[in-house]
Amino acid sequence: MAEGILVVTNQEEGRVRRVAYEMLAVAQELAPGKVTALTFGPGAEQTREGLGRYGADQVVALNGPAYAAYSSDGFADAVAKATESLDVEALFFPANAWGKDLAPRVAGLLKAGLASDCTDMFRRDDGRLGAVRPVYAGKAFARVAIQSPRQVFSLRPNIQPIKETGRAGTAWDFDPGLDAASFKAVVTEVLTSQGGQLELTEADIIVSGGRGVKAPENFKVLEDLADALGAALGSSRPVADEGWVPHSYHIGQTGKVVSPTVYFAVGISGAIQHLAGISGSKYIVAINSDADAPIFKAANYGVVGDLFKVVPALAQEIRAIKKDA
């Protein structure tokens, strides 16, 4: 019988994202002692120690020349071959840009059902895995069952705790025997973007601005607060549409869906499409001059006032607290 979980993860120059360790902690809970991690590319070998320490029983690093550049069809073939060789019951992928590209491709090859962007995983009474995933951008949650023989899940980053096991994963030498010449879609270049801005979907604190900020140059005020907090900057859609900030800042149902510990909504009214993207935040703080703005209904803390006065004062207070700590 198929058993165990294959955790497929990306890595860059020997470093994995936190979500890799989150997936391993969940997998170890659901299939103790039967967790395999799979990574690709140059530097994959260096991730072995960390993946083992955070819950992989065995690690396979596909660092041959075929895997030097990402290919959705090539990497999917490799994962499908590893799955058959290991005969696992389930596969986990990170629900990031990399995993969301690869997971459905693998699910298609394996003729397996895929539940995307899961926020909770559990073992069901019938012994199979089940999941909870947001739908309608988090306006509702669906409990889903996957009835195909194999089950595929992608897990939303930044949700699950990580756990050090203090062990080392054993190496599993596996070669899918693929030739990169047969890969069709291949990454030829990676363009790094806007000056080291923290990635919103992985940020612990987000300071987000709306039309209430009134002009692009006024974003300085929010930047200063973000700097005091060590936060990433985000925005409502109209502000990104106006070009005040890059498109990548846009949060909401048609932008990024975020789940930070604290979300500061500054000069944002709280339209339903915006709220859909932030409902996974642990705390929402609203700063708005209109006491009737709908954002206050979604918030844990609110300040009714002029953001141009409140935000600088808040940045100063935060700096004072951090200095004392």
Partner 1 sequence: MKILVLVKQVPDTATKIRLNPGDAAIQTDGIKWVINPYDEFAIEEGLRLKEKHGGEVVVVSMGPARVEEAIRQALAMGADRAVHIVKDAVGDSQVAARALARVCQDEGYDLIVTGKQAVDDDQAQVGPLVAVELRLPQVTVVLKLEVDPDARKIRAERELEGASEIVELPMPAVVTAQRGLNEPRYPTLPNIMKAKKKEVKSVPLESLGIDTEPWVVVEELTLPPERPAARILTGEPEEAARELARLLHEEAKVI
Q: Which residues from 276-295 bind ligand FAD, rule CB under 6 A?
A: 277, 288-290, 293
**Shortest gap between Cβ of 4 and partner 1 (angstroms)?**
20
User: What CA dihedral angle connects 286, 287, 293 and 297, to 10 degrees?
Assistant: 20
- 29 vs 231: CA distance, rounded Å: 31
Question: If contact means CB under 5 to 8 A according to the sort of partner, which of ligand FAD, partner 1, none does residue 193 touch?
Answer: partner 1
Sole binder of partner 1 in the list 30, 31, 66, 107 (CB under 8 A): 107
Q: Using the rule CB under 6 A, is 255 a contact of ligand FAD?
A: yes
Q: Using the rule CB under 6 A, is 138 a contact of ligand FAD?
A: no
How many CA atoms lie less than 13 Å away from 115 in the CB half-sphere?
A: 25
Question: If contact means CB under 5 to 8 A according to the sort of partner, which of partner 1, ligand FAD, none does residue 268 touch?
Answer: ligand FAD
Q: What is the DSSP letter of 169?
A: P
Site for ligand FAD in 201-240 (CB under 6 A): 210-212, 236-239
Sole binder of ligand FAD in the list 306, 313, 316, 317 (CB under 6 A): 306
Site for partner 1 in 278-307 (CB under 8 A): 279, 282-286, 291, 296-306
Q: How many CB atoms lie within 10 A of CB 292?
A: 9
- 287 vs 267: CA distance, rounded Å: 6
**Of 110, 119, 61, which is closest to residue 90 (Cα–Cα)?**
110
Sole binder of partner 1 in the list 82, 105, 176, 234 (CB under 8 A): 105
Q: Using the rule CB under 8 A, is 101 a contact of partner 1?
A: yes
Please check whether residue 10 is in contact with residue 30, taking contact to mean a CB–CB distance below 8 angstroms. no
Question: If contact means CB under 5 to 8 A according to the sort of partner, which of ligand FAD, partner 1, none does residue 277 touch?
Answer: ligand FAD
**Shortest gap between Cβ of 143 and partner 1 (angstroms)?**
5
How many CA atoms lie less than 13 Å away from 3 in the CB half-sphere?
A: 8
Show the beta-strand stretches assigned E in 210-289. Answer: 232-235, 262-266, 283-288
- 29 vs 33: CA distance, rounded Å: 9
Sole binder of partner 1 in the list 123, 143, 171, 177 (CB under 8 A): 143
Count of positions (residues) in the chain: 325
Q: Using the rule CB under 8 A, is 108 a contact of partner 1?
A: yes
Question: If contact means CB under 5 to 8 A according to the sort of partner, which of partner 1, ligand FAD, none does residue 239 touch?
Answer: ligand FAD
Q: How far is CA 259 from CA 119, 251, 293, 325, in A?
A: 11, 11, 22, 26
Q: Using the rule CB under 8 A, is 128 a contact of partner 1?
A: no
Sole binder of partner 1 in the list 37, 112, 178, 245 (CB under 8 A): 112
Q: Using the rule CB under 6 A, is 38 a contact of ligand FAD?
A: no
- 48 vs 59: CA distance, rounded Å: 6
Sole binder of partner 1 in the list 85, 123, 136, 177 (CB under 8 A): 136
Q: Between 211 and 319, name the residue whose CB sits nearer to partner 1.
A: 319
